[in-house]
Amino acid sequence: MWFQGFQKYGKGRGHGQNRSVYELNEVSFFNPVTPGYPQDLSARRVIDFAYLPHDEVLILMSMDGQYPCWVSRTGVHDIETNTAVANAVLFDDFSAYTSLFPKLNSLMQDCYRRRFSLQGTDIKTPFDYGFSSEPGQIKYWGQHMARGISSHYRRIKEMCTYRELDGRYLGLLESYLSMLESRTDDAVRDYEGKRALIDLITSEDYLLVSDDEAIRSTYVRIRREISDLYNAYMSIVR
């Protein structure tokens, strides 16, 4: 189960109107550490979101993508709550960090995941539109993020329905899986010879939110097979 047993706490420091949202931050479940370099969230914040089962979203914020200081799970369409969460991870200060990024990262391994990156007033979003950095507009970034996460979820769920229509796409995925499982004794050739197929399949990661369990689980197996191919390839070429 997702994040079963996580402790909750309210130790964050932020804007007064957002203080209650810190009760959603579950980073204290992980062992706290002092970062190995100066704590400076103004330098760069990395914000990942991943769609979980049952219409939920996980939001993870870290300093430089290394030291997580926020992890929360909320309803994907709860705009009010997610706006408060987004405002916190975009603008507030934090004093509690964990070094367990790999463990947190693994929780999103089989999830549809995208990333925001914030450096000063330069924000990069995973959506097909940007956030204005004009004075007076930055304060709306949290709202834009929350609404964007919700609308993006609806769009990729709709994309899934076209793959689920008549059941034939599952057979195609199973064929892709068989191709990826076919190996020789040359790991470099195995990977490089499948690059086009890997690129095609990787572009369809929206299938990770499919309501069709057979499609979703087959796609997860495909992703793991791609990971195995890549790791075997890198063990030789690096």
- Mean pLDDT of all residues belonging to the chain: 87
The alpha helices in the chain, defined as continuous H runs, are 79-91, 101-106, 141-164, 168-181, 187-192, 195-202, 213-237
Question: How far is residue 90 CA from its own chain's centroid?
Answer: 16
Give 137-143 contacts, CB < 8 A, sequence gap 24+.
141/86, 141/87, 141/90, 142/83, 142/84, 142/85, 142/86, 142/87, 142/90, 142/91, 143/79, 143/83, 143/86
What per-residue confidence (pLDDT) applies to 8?
A: 32
State the pTM of this model: 0.86
The predicted model gives 178-195 an average pLDDT of: 96
Per-residue confidence (pLDDT) for residue 12, from 0 to 100? 36
| Signed CA dihedral, 103, 95, 3, 216: sign only | negative
Q: Is 120 left (phi over 0), alpha (psi -120 to 50) or beta?
A: left
pLDDT of the residue at 86: 97
Q: Is the dihedral angle over the CA atoms 197, 199, 203, 208 positive or is it negative? A: positive
Is residue 63 predicted with pLDDT exceeding 60? yes
Out of 35-39, 114-118, 159-163, least confident range:
35-39
> If you average pLDDT over residues 206-210, what whole number do you get?
97
Sequence ranges of the domains in the chain: 16-159, 166-237
Mean pLDDT of 115-138: 90
Confidence band of 100 (pLDDT split at 50, 70, 90):
low
- Look at residue 107 in the predicted model and tell me its pLDDT: 73
122-151 average pLDDT score: 93
Mean pLDDT of 104-123: 86
- pLDDT over threshold 80, residue 188: yes
Average pLDDT over residues 214-231: 96
| Structural tokens at position 23 | 């009760």
| Rounded average pLDDT over 111-137 | 91
pLDDT of 19 reads 52
- Per-residue pLDDT, averaged over 208-234, amounts to 96
Average pLDDT of span 91-115 = 82
CA distance 88 to 82: 10
Mean pLDDT to the nearest integer, 5-34 = 61
Mean pLDDT of the 38-51 span: 90
